[in-house]
Structure 1
Amino acid sequence: MIRNDALDLPVRSALPGLRDALDGPAAPGSAVLVAPPGTGKTTLVPLVLAGLVGDGPARRVVVAEPRRIAARAAARRMAWLLGEKAGESVGYTVRGERVMGRHARVEVVTTGVLLQRLQRDQELAGVEVVMLDEVHERHLDADTVAAFLCDVRDALRPELRLVAASATTDAQGWARLLGGAPVVEAEGISYPVETAWAPPARPVRPPHGMRVDPALLTHVASVVRRALREQGGDVLCFLPGVGEIARVAGQLGGLGDVDVLQVHGRAPAAVQDAVLSAGARRRVVLATSVAESSLTVPGVRVVVDSGLAREPRVDHARGLSALTTVRASQAAGRQRAGRAGREAPGVVYRCWTEAEDVRLARFPAPEIKVADLTAFALQAACWGDPDASGLALLDAPPAGAMAAARSVLTAIGAVEAESGRATERGARLAGLGLHPRLARALLDATPVVGARRAAEVVALLSEEPPRDYGDDLAAAWRTARRGADAYAARWKTEVRRLTGAAAGQTPAREDAPGGLSEDRVAGIVAALAFPERVGRGGDGEYLMVSGTRAALADGSRLRGAPWIAVAVADRPVGAGHARVRLAAVVDEEVALRAAAPLRTEGDEVAWADGALVARHVERLGAVELAVRPLKEAAPALVREALKEGLRREGFGLLRWSREAGELRERLAFLHRTLGAPWPDVSDDALHARVDEWLEPELGKARRRSDLGRIDAGQALRRLLPWASGDAARLDELAPERLEVPSGSRIRIDYANPEQPVLAVKLQEMFGLHESPRVAGVPVLVHLLSPAGRPAAVTADLASFWREGYRAVRAELRGRYPKHPWPEDPAGAVPTRHTSARLRR
């Protein structure tokens, strides 16, 4: 029995256009569906496409949602509209859970599940329509699935129909991506939503990393209380993460007959179900961005928006990736506000100023631009496009992030070093439905520690345990095993899935390694997953193999361990080291085995404390295992160390005569004035060409003192444009000295490359009507008194003789009566002598 609710949804107005795009005579077989929140695009459209509502043909439809909670909710809502239970005509599949009957025609899956299915069966046998929902969120899995489906339609199944659906999106961009698909828009019944600006009374600190100013959370709680007083209906409050939800919930005690519910990806299924069904009592729903789209929370008339969101970020230099708190985009703000107008007029309280709002980013950053791309790179390699250059993507993956991902995948044997193509092992890793690091740990740890225990630890690493589980991975493992909270329930479900996957991929040795302690097992698995985060140290601070330092919290049970494997870490803003969130104790044997590809041994010469230090070093990445002094080092190593010394301390380490310094200034003037072929002699440019101008002198040097014997001027002449013949014009274009009217040859100062300076006694310039020039640039003339002190500065002698000389003559004539001070200097005889000597 089809409920009337299904037939009255506003998206019905778009159905004719959608049918034409997918099934019309000249239909491209794809479409971009733009429908406002609450119109029924997620629930009615799949039923129509499957022929479960209306008179369309019976077809199998797969709907891809970005989150598990949305996938379950959408399937249950569609089943309810049909008067059925989930699993009959409409089912769902998420990681670790499948509710799907034999005769189901609509299957709702997460994008991650669909990605795995495409890798196993590129044709998607039996599926006739795929609908990608909420594509505006730009999750990496969703972008990847869309790209793969475009390939499938182009090469294997042109009849496969594809719909990209969203409430707000770059519709034209998606239309181009789908090969010129038409954009079909649905008119929504949107109730007006009033905006109330509710910024904190006092400034709050902006978010840094995962940190949110407690003062802002206190303010958000106060705005929720204000909304309950001023408005009717339920309140939906958006916060960036689970921790912030818990803190605000703790400040909302004493609300009487109001229920406070917390909804996020980790919430128990019972809580999620309670949020998605209307209750008898008034409710405050504290939610992450999971409630922005896909989910309709009934009864909501008010939205309180903290203005914050969480996005993934990766620090490639330190090998750390984590979520970070950011200001939510304008698009997210519109989505959130729209939740208040789903069923009736509503109000949104925004916890920032109207002036701030216009400065927010228009859209959230696509994950492909900011996230760790290791899993994406493996998926692309398994698909046959290692660099993803042939994939239909709205945004190309950053080259640096792809290079870092390729490095990780090569180290774990997932891709070939040269071609980047997936190995057989890489295909097995991709098939486990885990991040490649965790898949490697599961695969390689199972023969050592057993499938069950490997799966249990990997399950802990695949979803970070609550902070109150502590930072000791082994202790957190024991807590999860005996726990009865929502996290422990999800963990146990994932353990069952991974145990089966591990047993199917590796030889069964469940009983053989039983003698290993839990601490050792946790360490082995963590080290295999994150070999570059194995660290050695003590007293709470460790140097990881990656070169990053990591510190344990005070009171950590792990303090004092000589080696640890860091599973989760972040870097506080302004700190030079990482902060350990979850780690396990390991011994040196485990560390060496897990990070074996990073073990090296060889001679090293470094510039340290202003001198060369030569050593033979055994290393595990950045961690030194053994060191002994080296008497004779290879010249190439010495040369590189000396270059490093020059980079750190500058070219002042060389011998700079006055002529050498002036040569560098003359060249800098010519480079600025004339450009090529005259060389750039700035520090950066000289470092970039150090092999050209400092050889062979640098090759002969063996210690710091040898640098001080290198004639910098002689070396610098190697950069002159000898090949073009311009080097011979150096003295013509930028002469060291300039002959003035008196016959004196005066040195030119090129310290200012914009305009050289000529400092000369005023009387020696008599009779010269125009300022001298070098390389076409007027020289700035410093006219000196007979005592050599500055009397005037000019770049236009003719003007000075006419207008400035009279005042200088009046001031200095009485002070220096023995020197000539003619009334007409332009016509006078230049001299460097006194008047008496001239008369003789």
Structure 2
Amino acid sequence: MTPSNSPAAGAVPTAIPGRFDLGTIGTGLAFAASLGELAEVLRAGGPAGTAVVQAPPGTGKTTLVPPLLANLASTPGLASIPGALRVVVTQPRRVAARAAARRLAALDGTQVGDRVGYTVRGERKAGPGTLVEFVTPGILLRRLLDDPGLETTGAVILDEVHERGLETDLLLGMLREVRQLRGDLSLVAMSATLDAPRFAALIGGAAPHATARGAADDGGGPAPVVDCPSALYPLEVQWAPAAVPRLDGRGVARGFLDHVADTAAGAHAAGVSRDPGTDALVFVPGAWEVSYVAARLRGRAASGTEVLELHGQVSPAEQDRAVSGRRQGGPARIIVSTDLAESSLTVPGVRLVIDSGLTREPRRDANRGMSGLVTVSCSRASAEQRAGRAARQGPGRVVRCYDQKSYGAAPAHVTPEINVADLTGAALTLACWGSPGGQGLALPDAPPPAAMAEAIEVLRELGAVAADGHPTGLGRTLARVPADPRLARALLDGAVAVGHHAAAEVVALVAGDQRAPGADLTRVLSTLRGGREPAARRWAEDVRRLETIARKESAAVGPSVVTAPVTSAESPGVVVALAFPDRVARRVPGDGPARYLLSSGTRAGLPAGSPLSGHEWLAVAEVSRAAGRDAAGTGALIRSAAPLTADLAQAAARHLLSDAVEAKFSQGRVTARREQRLGAISLSSTPVRPSPAEGRTAVARALSEEGLGTIGWSTAADALRRRLALLHRELGAPWPDVSERALLAALDTWLGPELEKMA
């Protein structure tokens, strides 16, 4: 492509003072050849100001598209964005947002925070002169709720839409509505996979899935799609399945992680012997697995090899170091990463990829009232994107630590988060947007009705939405807290009960991806307070931010439901119980492994040897499906919890308290007990004399469930009933209907006197 300074059709504005020099920025990037086409379609093609960019990772779309839109905003004759308004670009992860901003600023020859900046949770480097700002989807969602018109924004670029993150899906629908009010707002979606037509139909105004749900169609047709060919070099694929299963009852098997580490060490040593410039990228599913594999690699990799960790819990400085290229003359590197490095950023110098084939995805178990992250096989599309990281800058190699059969059995694409995740936070966002339950909003996939109904019910219990689904004042306050609505409410309630700082500590911990050894949340909290964990700095930043919010907003919830004094040791359990009252748990009596009954009715085990097993009451922050010894035959495992006292459990979950007489009919008589419960947990059970009404109810229930035979008909009574049935069938009235259905409907009439005696 030949750079041009003229605004002729199809030309790319570049090398003009005050604008981005796309000729220099695009040097060596495959997407530079597609810039002219994108500029043209944004100016005149299809629905003006919309486009879908489909390009594989590493082609340069994240680097080149934002400055192109910024240039179009200020080029006479080409402007599709009137005025010098900011271009906002979403990245699904904080490290990707920072890395993208840093790279574009470096290519532009400016400092981060000047013409190019970023805003992520707890960190902002942007100013009045910023033309391109990279943000996470959550940041943009909260901006939309505060400023639905995005008056200071001229264009929005949604990157990595193929990942189907819940927040990005919500943004697609909400921004489509903003464009119906602001035709001058440009909207570009960028995808690394072949699902571009789906997004083109959605943002361009011809979303078939949306119109079926009643959303308006602006009739503009699908947005234009701009493709870019893959820039991959030759890629060698090897299969190295482990002799042990990838998963066991506790999650990822340690034996498998040992295999991944040993495979990476051997493959990297062989690669470096052929090409000293070879760096390796190892994919494992979570932060704990990253730390485990990295620790083993440090003892097995070739001497002098630098082993780096890349996941959401390491410090920003460590993240930046991992995604930066090898220093001039520096040692060979092995970067162990979660799927953070799969598609949203490029790690320079990688010629070798070691893939565990596993990822962590959200899952919701409606039957047990559980939700959280589970480890599953990654999709084939994800596996291809991971492999492609090795062939961006030259011939590469991928070693898959699983067999071809497992690859073939994996899903073709990632599961959309909206279909499997807990939707409480999304439901609150939609309510505040004016689309309760997503009604009338064009989304890539409709939220599952049962999951959405459950989420709205949780919001009603929190006091966040009214009966009609629209937000209350408290709901709008909770929406401003960067945490799940239940944790947001616990932050504000807990600030009154245990203090602002203590509440912020626990909410920051539970909201993060911290693994609790032995499920003991208090142990992790103690370690973080001591600053010994790599995640301690990030956690401390989150605590400071949440504490500021708590001091500002806690008055919105009024007096706390916990009125008794709370010690510092009890604080974590109280805050967790305030967030998840349905997960307050009591130990089930008996020998053997520790089993707990949650107030929701779910039974779950504790990991063997957990220091929590001696506590009668727990506040459970995370519980998930599991098998094996730790689940203690319950089918579920407590992954994170804090101890609690009986009194504090009942105070935090007091809306679940019940006190009722439960009568039973058995063997011809009625008995009753007074049952005091906390949800499904029995607190006390005392024998009492049933009232006549309770007796009648018990008999009616027993007869309905077990049939009239429960009464024990005498021979004479049974014969009489048969004769009456014959007369009713043959002659009709006045002979009565004595069928089971008819007799059950008239119990008080024919069984009333006996019911009084039974009581």
Matches within 5 A, 1:265-414: 265-279=312-326, 280-414=330-464
- Distance in 1 of aligned mates of 2:474 and 2:146: 15
1:38 aligned partner, one-letter code: G
Measured at CA, do residues 125 and 85 of structure 1 come closer, stay the same or move farther in structure 2, by a change above 3 Å?
A: same
Secondary structure of 1:352's aligned partner: coil
Deviation at 1:275, TM superposition (A): 1.7
Secondary structure of 1:425's aligned partner: helix
- Distance in 1 of aligned mates of 2:644 and 2:73: 59
- Distance in 2 of aligned mates of 1:502 and 1:105: 33
- Distance in 1 of aligned mates of 2:401 and 2:666: 52
Match of 1:838 in 2: none
Match of 1:137 in 2: 163
- 1:218 equivalenced with 2:258 (yes/no): yes
- Distance in 2 of aligned mates of 1:436 and 1:548: 22
- The match for 1:596 among 650, 654, 672 is 654
Deviation at 1:293, TM superposition (A): 0.8
Matches within 5 A, 1:735-746: none
Secondary structure of 2:247's aligned partner: coil
Question: 1:114-135 CA deviation, whole Å, 9 max, x = no partner?
Answer: 1111111111121010000000
Aligned residue pairs total: 665
Deviation at 1:692, TM superposition (A): 4.9
- Contact 2:95 / 2:320 at 8 angstroms: preserved in 1? no
Deviation at 1:240, TM superposition (A): 1.2
Secondary structure of 2:61's aligned partner: coil
Matches within 5 A, 1:181-260: 181-200=223-242, 202=243, 204-205=244-245, 207=247, 211-231=251-271, 232=275, 233-252=278-297, 253-254=299-300, 255-260=302-307
- Contact 1:543 / 1:550 at 8 angstroms: preserved in 2? yes
Deviation at 1:474, TM superposition (A): 3.9
- The match for 1:15 among 5, 23, 35 is 35
- 1:585 equivalenced with 2:627 (yes/no): no
Match of 1:93 in 2: 119
Deviation at 1:452, TM superposition (A): 2.1
Match of 1:639 in 2: 700
Match of 2:598 in 1: 544
- Distance in 2 of aligned mates of 1:321 and 1:611: 43
Deviation at 1:53, TM superposition (A): 11
- Distance in 2 of aligned mates of 1:20 and 1:52: 10
- Distance in 1 of aligned mates of 2:743 and 2:235: 70
- Distance in 2 of aligned mates of 1:607 and 1:43: 74
- Contact 1:208 / 1:325 at 8 angstroms: preserved in 2? no
Measured at CA, do residues 218 and 377 of structure 1 come closer, stay the same or move farther in structure 2, by a change above 3 Å?
A: same
Match of 1:164 in 2: 189
Measured at CA, do residues 585 and 215 of structure 1 come closer, stay the same or move farther in structure 2, by a change above 3 Å?
A: closer
- Distance in 2 of aligned mates of 1:284 and 1:521: 41
Match of 2:26 in 1: 6
- Distance in 1 of aligned mates of 2:493 and 2:751: 47
- Distance in 1 of aligned mates of 2:158 and 2:424: 23
- 1:568 equivalenced with 2:622 (yes/no): yes
- Contact 2:158 / 2:188 at 8 angstroms: preserved in 1? yes
Match of 2:733 in 1: none
Q: Indicate the larger mover: 207-216 or 561-570.
A: 207-216
Deviation at 1:227, TM superposition (A): 1.8
Secondary structure of 1:358's aligned partner: helix
- 1:175 equivalenced with 2:188 (yes/no): no
Match of 1:66 in 2: 92
Identity, in percent, stands at 44
Measured at CA, do residues 601 and 343 of structure 1 come closer, stay the same or move farther in structure 2, by a change above 3 Å?
A: same
- Distance in 2 of aligned mates of 1:691 and 1:152: 61
Deviation at 1:645, TM superposition (A): 4.7
- Distance in 2 of aligned mates of 1:315 and 1:68: 28
Question: 1:379-427 CA deviation, whole Å, 9 max, x = no partner?
Answer: 11111111213121111111221122122111111112x3222111111
- Distance in 1 of aligned mates of 2:374 and 2:433: 30
Secondary structure of 1:500's aligned partner: helix
Secondary structure of 1:624's aligned partner: strand
Deviation at 1:528, TM superposition (A): 0.7
Deviation at 1:300, TM superposition (A): 0.8
- Distance in 1 of aligned mates of 2:73 and 2:305: 38
- The match for 1:480 among 528, 534, 537 is 528
Question: 1:79-121 CA deviation, whole Å, 9 max, x = no partner?
Answer: 1111122111111111111111221111100011111111111
- Contact 2:519 / 2:641 at 8 angstroms: preserved in 1? yes
2:569 aligned partner, one-letter code: D
Question: 1:488-507 CA deviation, whole Å, 9 max, x = no partner?
Answer: 10111011111111111134
Measured at CA, do residues 41 and 644 of structure 1 come closer, stay the same or move farther in structure 2, by a change above 3 Å?
A: farther
Question: 1:593-639 CA deviation, whole Å, 9 max, x = no partner?
Answer: 22122222223346899997633322211112232334342534543
- The match for 1:439 among 482, 488, 491 is 488
Measured at CA, do residues 691 and 390 of structure 1 come closer, stay the same or move farther in structure 2, by a change above 3 Å?
A: farther
Q: Indicate the larger mover: 47-56 or 136-145.
A: 47-56
Match of 1:498 in 2: 546
Match of 2:672 in 1: 614
- Contact 1:331 / 1:363 at 8 angstroms: preserved in 2? yes
Match of 2:721 in 1: none
Greater RCO structure (CA 8 Å; 6+ sep): 2
1:359 aligned partner, one-letter code: A
- Contact 1:612 / 1:642 at 8 angstroms: preserved in 2? no
Cα RMSD of the aligned pairs, angstroms, is 3.3
Secondary structure of 2:321's aligned partner: helix
- Distance in 2 of aligned mates of 1:654 and 1:315: 43
- Distance in 2 of aligned mates of 1:291 and 1:25: 33
- Distance in 2 of aligned mates of 1:12 and 1:429: 43
- Distance in 2 of aligned mates of 1:653 and 1:516: 53
Secondary structure of 1:695's aligned partner: helix
Match of 1:421 in 2: 470
Measured at CA, do residues 368 and 642 of structure 1 come closer, stay the same or move farther in structure 2, by a change above 3 Å?
A: farther
Measured at CA, do residues 339 and 643 of structure 1 come closer, stay the same or move farther in structure 2, by a change above 3 Å?
A: farther
- Distance in 2 of aligned mates of 1:251 and 1:702: 75
Measured at CA, do residues 243 and 450 of structure 1 come closer, stay the same or move farther in structure 2, by a change above 3 Å?
A: closer
Q: Indicate the larger mover: 251-260 or 207-216.
A: 207-216
- The match for 1:76 among 97, 102, 119 is 102
- Contact 2:516 / 2:523 at 8 angstroms: preserved in 1? no
- The match for 1:625 among 675, 683, 700 is 683
- Contact 2:585 / 2:596 at 8 angstroms: preserved in 1? yes
Choose 1 or 2 for highest CA Rg: 1
- Distance in 1 of aligned mates of 2:714 and 2:63: 78
Matches within 5 A, 1:694-709: 695-696=744-745
TM-score by length of 1: 0.73
List runs of 5+ in structure 1 lacking aligned partners: 661-689, 707-840
Measured at CA, do residues 329 and 611 of structure 1 come closer, stay the same or move farther in structure 2, by a change above 3 Å?
A: farther
Q: Indicate the larger mover: 586-595 or 431-440.
A: 586-595
Question: 1:569-613 CA deviation, whole Å, 9 max, x = no partner?
Answer: 333226415433332233333222221222222233468999976
- Contact 1:536 / 1:563 at 8 angstroms: preserved in 2? yes
1:21 aligned partner, one-letter code: V
Measured at CA, do residues 361 and 582 of structure 1 come closer, stay the same or move farther in structure 2, by a change above 3 Å?
A: closer
- Contact 1:122 / 1:152 at 8 angstroms: preserved in 2? yes
Question: 1:301-330 CA deviation, whole Å, 9 max, x = no partner?
Answer: 111111111111122222221211111111
Question: 1:657-697 CA deviation, whole Å, 9 max, x = no partner?
Answer: 9xx9xxxxxxxxxxxxxxxxxxxxxxxxxxxxx99577348
- Contact 2:583 / 2:598 at 8 angstroms: preserved in 1? yes
Measured at CA, do residues 61 and 631 of structure 1 come closer, stay the same or move farther in structure 2, by a change above 3 Å?
A: same
1:563 aligned partner, one-letter code: W
